[in-house]
Amino acid sequence: MRTPFVAGNWKLNKTPDEAETLARCVVDAVSGITGVDVAICPPFPALERVASAVRGTAIGLGAQNMYWASEGAFTGEVSAPMLLTCGCEYVILGHSERRQFFGETDETVNRRLKTALRAGLKPIVCLGESLDERQADRTEQVVEAQMRGALNGLSADDVQGITLAYEPVWAIGTGLTATSEQAEAVHGFLRQVLARLYRDEVAQAVRIQYGGSVKPDNAAALFDQDNIDGGLIGGASLEADAFAAIVKAAV
Ligand code: PGA
């Protein structure tokens, strides 16, 4: 049985002060909920403050991106050892906003992913099709290519340490959610591809989150699906009560 996993992606929101306050509210709101892994991913400058707010609780800390070199002349980048020093356990990689606005590709996601795993971080690897791709009936082709590209060269052991997040680009921040059936179809497909690339046991072990306008009122229907193992939550993770309601729905 896979333990569900709900992570909050705060994106470019919250100063360190605001982030610490929100993290403390999240700690209160989710306290006592068991049977689900929870993480919050604030912006880099807030990591240490949020780390101290969640220390000693069951909430994990994650970053929203990282670079593959550990140090050097890479202006503006942040490395895996730096994230570990700030108390991170998780790192989101290949979010569609990184792909869309910052030029990330399957190949650079793969390099980041290998580095994160070697460093002992737990990666959340995002993939998902655009509206045009869905309308052209290319969803499976697109997500399979993204997954193969991201996982290129990884062993079965490596892959079991990864969480995948299926996030249809057209559903992110738009209020449009994939229906539970649409999401489940893609999650089931991704698991089949994992079984083909590795073996069924590996495919069954990997958690696949859904992301894209998950809210307290649609979370339960999504998380009830066999192949949906929790969610990556953007907008609704910025409110402690809404986030906690979504966490509860995953149990
Ligand atoms: P959203 O974002 O919940 O605001 O749609 C999800 C994500 O981008 O991870």
Question: Is any ligand 1 atom within 6 A of the Cβ of residue 173?
Answer: yes
Query: How high is the pLDDT of residue 177?
Result: 83
Q: The dihedral of CA 239, 241, 244, 245: what is its sign?
A: negative
Q: Tell me the CA distances in angstroms from 139 to 109, 146, 150, 229, one per residue in order.
A: 19, 11, 16, 20
Q: The dihedral of CA 97, 100, 102, 103: what is its sign?
A: positive
Asked about 133 being catalytic, the answer comes back as no
What tens-digit pLDDT sequence spans the chain (251 residues)?
A: 899 999 999 999 999 999 999 999 999 999 999 999 999 999 999 999 999 999 999 999 999 999 999 999 999 999 999 999 999 999 999 999 999 999 999 999 999 999 999 999 999 999 999 999 999 999 999 999 999 999 999 999 999 999 999 999 999 888 888 899 999 999 999 999 999 999 999 999 999 999 999 999 999 999 999 999 999 999 999 999 999 999 999 99
Question: Is any ligand 1 atom within 6 A of the Cβ of residue 65?
Answer: no
Q: Tell me the CA distances in angstroms from 200 to 192, 193, 205, one per residue in order.
A: 8, 10, 9
Element (H, E) at 192: helix 180-197
Query: How high is the pLDDT of residue 178?
Result: 86
Q: Closest Cα partner for 156 from 207, 200, 108, 91?
A: 200
- Distance, in Å, from the CA atom of 115 to the CA atom of 103, rounded to the nearest integer, reads 19
Q: Tell me the CA distances in angstroms from 113 to 40, 84, 90, 91, 216, one per residue in order.
A: 19, 15, 11, 9, 30
Q: Whose alpha carbon is nearest atom 1 of ligand 1?
A: 234
Asked about 187 being catalytic, the answer comes back as no
- Distance, in Å, from the CA atom of 201 to the CA atom of 119, rounded to the nearest integer, reads 25
Question: Is any ligand 1 atom within 6 A of the Cβ of residue 64?
Answer: no
Q: Whose alpha carbon is nearest atom 6 of ligand 1?
A: 234
Query: How high is the pLDDT of residue 26?
Result: 98
Q: How far, in Å, from the CA of 48 to the mean position of ligand 1?
A: 23
Question: Is any ligand 1 atom within 6 A of the Cβ of residue 234?
Answer: yes
Question: Is any ligand 1 atom within 6 A of the Cβ of residue 233?
Answer: yes
Q: How far, in Å, from the CA of 211 to the mean position of ligand 1?
A: 6
Query: How high is the pLDDT of residue 13?
Result: 98
Domains of the chain and CATH, by start: 5-250 (3.20.20.70)
Amino acid at 53: A
Question: Is any ligand 1 atom within 6 A of the Cβ of residue 168?
Answer: no
Task: Report DSSP state, residue 44.
Answer: G
Query: How high is the pLDDT of residue 234?
Result: 97
The one catalytic residue among 20, 48, 133, 167: 167
Q: Which of 5, 6, 9, 243 is the best mutation target for the ligand 1 pocket, counting ligand atoms within 8 Å of the beta carbon and taking the most?
A: 9
